Amino acid sequence: MSDKARMIVIGAVSLIIGAAGGWWYGMMQVDDVTFKLMTATHEKDQAVQNADRLRKMNDDAAKKYGKDLGKLVMAVATPPLPVPPAEAPAQGQPAPTPAAAAPAMDDPAKLIDSVRAMLAARDHIRATLDGVRAAMNSEFDALAAELGNAAPDSEKVKQILESLKQKWPQKEKDMEAATRGLLVDLGILQAAPASKPTATPQPAAASAPAPAVAPAPELKPAEKK
């Protein structure tokens, strides 16, 4: 084979190898771009789902107390209210179907139990809300009362403010605890896991006292005959 033919063959092989390498590199780039695009789309869909879930959870939390208490209120059966007599239907028209009456509470004990359950739920809701309000009482109420006077005493206001500043670290913790309790009760936060009680070391058993040693018998002198 002449040198010219050899150069042609080498050039053709180089072109084929270069084209194959370029195609492989191009496909790798396409796959990388496709993967990044799919990842970004998945992250976007996940963010939209999380936002919808959070919006629904907040909406359910806002309605929780009303729905829970409303179920108990509506579940208490009371005697039905008197219904005015319906007008006679026109000739040729079917008679209207009477509405189902609420069941009358014949057993007074069941009525009392239902009302007690309703009031217990109300007390739980009120206690949860009062916990947040109680954290903002005391000095705040004293300031409001003093500023409600016709001539507020600035020295007294300063004393109340100084007391509030001293107690504020604990008040801030109380407000956080009350707010977290409210959010847990509404289902927005998860309750903190209960801390395991630390095992108290048991005192070592007292060693048994050593047995008392009996005294040696006294030797009597032998009698002389």
**What type of residue is 85?**
P
Q: Look at residue 221 in the predicted model and tell me its pLDDT.
A: 54
Task: Give residue limits of the domains in the chain.
Answer: 1-63, 104-189
- DSSP result, 116-179: HHHHHHHHHHHHHHHHHHHTT-THHHHHHHHHTSSS--HHHHHHHHHHHHHHHHHHHHHHHHHH
Task: Kindly state the tokens that stand for 146.
Answer: 């003093």
| Distance between CA atoms of residues 84 and 100, nearest Å | 14
Q: Look at residue 106 in the predicted model and tell me its pLDDT.
A: 60
pLDDT < 70 regions, the chain: 1-4, 76-106, 194-225
| Distance between CA atoms of residues 178 and 133, nearest Å | 9
Task: Report whether 134 contacts 171 (CB < 8 A).
Answer: no
Contacts of 171 (CB under 8 A, 6+ apart): 135, 136, 164
| Distance between CA atoms of residues 188 and 182, nearest Å | 9
Q: Look at residue 92 in the predicted model and tell me its pLDDT.
A: 60
110-140 pLDDT, tens digit per residue, is 878 888 888 888 888 888 888 778 877 788 8
Q: Look at residue 28 in the predicted model and tell me its pLDDT.
A: 78
